[in-house]
Amino acid sequence: MRSRLITLIIVFCLTSSILIGRLFYLQIVRGEDYLSNYELQIRKEEEIPGTRGNIYDRNGNLLAYNELAYSVTIEDTLSSDYSTEERNKALNAILDRVLEIVESHGDSVIDSFGIILDSAGNYQFTQSSETQRLRFVADVYGKRTIDELSQEQQSMSAADIIHYLCTDSSYGYGLDDENLDPQYILKMINMRYAMNLNSYQQYMSTVLASDVSDETAAAIMENQDTLTGVDIEEDSLRRYTDGEYFSSIIGYTGQISQEEYDALDDSEKELYSLSDIVGKSGLEQTLDSVLQGKKGETTFYVDNLGKVTDTVSRTEPEAGNDVYLTIDKNLQESTYKLLEEKLAGIVLSKLRNVLNYDPESAGSASDLIIPVSDAYHAFIANRIIDDTHFGSEDAGPAEKAIYEAFQQKKTSTISQILTEMQNSNAAPYNELSEEMQDYMDYIS
């Protein structure tokens, strides 16, 4: 009995020694290697967008369809150990190189940010209403509602927003807005802001440039070793046949906005993400749930370089439903042209070579005329005439004459305004000419 107990103790000690030795080898000797290998195998789930359905007329003529295109995308795969400054420096270097490659082949990066540069080189909001502007500012500051904005934030100008995004110590992009070219800054902010919108979804790729040429796609692929996280993805762009005649009916598509996403109910939010393309107006918007394709999904593992090491599963996306309308394509085009000719005839019959015209002076509606000044304004405001070309070297005689007259009028008007504003005995506002009142209203 005693010998059996001794044998059992010896076996137990040997087994324990082997187990302890193995644990020592795994945790102490090879622990760091195993930990690194574990950390480098990252499980990743990625959505595959479904193709939007086509739109046809009653006779099967194609009105809206999808076209294969290439997009430059980026995934933020930079190490989480980076400080804010290091992260900004690394990201900006990558995006700067992407911008250089894209523009060198005649393409352009995304331009979906809510601020643009006007003809004078000043930052301006693109929103058409104050509510939309405040909603945009709230998105920039990460606020769910407009009411959460402080008074200072609500009153910020477009230039203030740019300065905040460039220089803020916590959320800024590390851009020198004082010395860098404003156009360059705006392009960089467009890309960085788009990446921020996807920051809550790990490994969600962000589109940096859409519908790029084969040359751009090839150049990006050739430089992938230095462009961390940047890739070329196949995409589909919405195209319209004879859009001039059907745009008011079919509408158009675009990336879903934060406001549109927030308006969805919980069940709908599961079907959409902030990178999705949705209908913005017309039938594209009304029938979005019908046209929208069903997303697929792929699950796989990647290493620290973003290279796929193992694909776990893949669910193929499904195309959206095609829609057939009751309208006739040929009839719509013919009707549009007839209506256009009729309207042009009415405008021509009412057009008069008059600059100052008071509509109230007309005895009846049939006596109303269209002053030529209104026609000039419509030509320029609707970009039918490119006024930026008037001062070019290759401008025609008429363009040069108009440009010279404009410059003379501009010089004299500014002089009159300054004289009026600096005159201590200036006339009261109600005694000024209507033109001068407009200038004063604009300045104030």
| Tokens standing for residue 342 | 């009729």
Residue of 330, 319, 242, 281 lying closest to 63 (CA atoms): 242
Question: Could you read off the pLDDT of 4-14 as tens digits, one per residue?
Answer: 777 777 777 78
As a whole number of angstroms, the distance between CA 379 and CA 358 comes to 21
The region of weakest confidence among 8-22, 131-145, 286-300 is 8-22
Percent of the chain topping pLDDT 70: 93
| Most confident among 87-101, 201-215, 306-320 (mean pLDDT) | 87-101
DSSP E strands in 23-61: the ranges are 42-48, 55-56
Residue 64: what pLDDT?
95
Tell me, yes or no, if the pTM score tops 0.75.
no
Determine the average pLDDT of the residues in 5-24: 77
Determine the average pLDDT of the residues in 350-366: 81
Assigned fold of 41-61+241-344:
Penicillin-binding protein 2a (Domain 2) (3.90.1310)
Residue 200: what pLDDT?
66
Q: Do 243 and 62 touch, CB atoms closer than 8 A?
A: no
Q: What are phi and psi of 436, to 5 degrees?
A: -65, -35
DSSP 354: -
Residue 29 has pLDDT above 80, yes or no: no
> Which SS3 state, helix, strand or coil, does residue 282 take?
helix
As a whole number of angstroms, the distance between CA 176 and CA 21 comes to 57
Question: Could you read off the pLDDT of 401-416 as tens digits, one per residue?
Answer: 888 888 898 899 888 8
CB proximity list for 206: less than 8 A, separation 6 or greater: 73, 74, 75, 76, 191, 194, 195, 197, 198, 275
Where does the pLDDT of residue 36 fall: very low under 50, low under 70, confident under 90, or very high at 90 and above? low
Beta bridge partners of 324: 56
Residue 46 has pLDDT above 70, yes or no: yes
Residue 201: what pLDDT?
62
| More confident position, 424 or 329 | 329
Q: Do 299 and 48 touch, CB atoms closer than 8 A?
A: no
| Strand pairing report for 370-371 and 351-352 | parallel
As a whole number of angstroms, the distance between CA 278 and CA 263 comes to 13
Question: Could you read off the pLDDT of 173-229 as tens digits, one per residue?
Answer: 999 988 999 999 999 999 999 998 877 665 678 899 999 999 999 999 999 989 988
Question: Could you read off the pLDDT of 380-389 as tens digits, one per residue?
Answer: 888 788 877 8
